[in-house]
Amino acid sequence: MSVSGKTYRALLVGTGGIGDAHVRAVEATQGRVQLVAAVDVDAARAAAFCQRHRVPAALTDFATALRETRPDIVLIATPPDLHGAMCIAAMEAGAWVLCEKPLCGSLAEFDAIEAAERRTGRRTACIFQMRFASSTAHLRDLADRGQLGRPLVAVCHTLWFRDAAYYAPPWRSTWAGLGGPTLGLGIHAMDHLLHLLGEWTEVRALAATLDRAIEVEDVSLAMVTFANRAVASIVNSALSPRQETYLRLDYQKATVELTHLYSYARDNWRLTLAPAAQDDGLLASWQSFPPDVGSTHAAQLAAFVADMDAGTPPLTSGAEARRTLDLLTAIYKSAFTGQAVAAGSIRPGDPFYAAVHGGGRRLAPGR
């Protein structure tokens, strides 16, 4: 039974490894969301998934599933190049959409999703679960109240390791499949950085294919400036044997660091006070954490359901989601052109507006 409010019927599309996280998220709603069916082009995989998780129906065709199940929510966990069209089809069928990253393959496709939102009255949000931990909300509250001072310098590292087996599925190794660590790995930490620092203004970047036998980059680096005058360095790597996700924010009064891999909770944070801030109450404020909610799919789905209840746009839809995609697109454009790219400058007529990677090409080392 539902705890309160309406019970929402959910359809999961894609039953690969991340599908289990969606099931756990649905279960955490305590009945507010019920998974009524799962779709996968691999019938055997869909059937096994549904049997394992006691999902009522296993289907292989997305359009049929939309028509037969009439879901309120569609959870999309397919390869990235399918996301945009599926988001639009789901909204046109009457559902709200929660879609894995990257939400789509271009700013043009994102604008088509937003047009579908206006046309249907439904919403699409990207899964950026790093935003939804209670510890991040705590940090934002301290920053908004001025207790940390101005943000000055940031470091954002996604240092992961992906071998040849990982890149065997073609979508992970090609431009058409939207592979590469910028879109596929570092996107979470970069979105988290933007959530904490706000509007970015300019980026200078490089990308290279240094070691993996793939079409896309296996490393990218960027320098970003923000509207609040803060500056950040970003590294996204698929080549790093000691894996780590690291976010560091140097404010006037303290350094805040977050070290984890794929998810985090309160204990993954560290605060170091500036000498002049030792006695102003900042440490006590920092230690007054709210009840700990980690950076999980469940935390984001709970917020998404609350938005559906209220009829309000989800946090990772609209302008917020576009800002992150705009940065990733600008990183590729800067890497390919060797030029700085300003926020909001990639518009219709630009090849990077039509495709996040500008059409794709082979990257030489150092580029």
| Cα four-point dihedral sign 62, 64, 69, 71 | positive
Residue 279 dihedral angles phi and psi, to the nearest 5°: -120, 20
pLDDT above 50: residue 3: no
Mean pLDDT of 114-124: 98
> How do residues 265-309 score in pLDDT, each as one tens digit?
999 999 999 987 666 789 999 999 999 999 999 999 999 999 999
Domain 134-294+323-354 CATH class label: alpha beta
- Cβ atoms 329, 356 nearer than 8 A: yes
Mean pLDDT of 318-336: 98
pTM of the model: 0.96
pLDDT above 60: residue 343: yes
Q: Which two tokens mark 118?
A: 């206006």
For residue 332, what are the contacts with CB-CB under 8 A and spacing of at least 6? Answer: 182, 205, 207, 352, 356, 357, 358
- Domain boundaries, given as residue ranges, for the chain: 8-130+298-313, 134-294+323-354
| Closest-CA residue to 98 (of 25, 45, 185) | 25
pLDDT above 60: residue 167: yes
CATH T-level fold of 8-130+298-313? Rossmann fold (3.40.50)
DSSP letters spanning 242-281? EEEEEEEEEESSEEEEEEESS---GGGEEEEE-GGGTTSS
State residue 89's pLDDT score.
Answer: 98
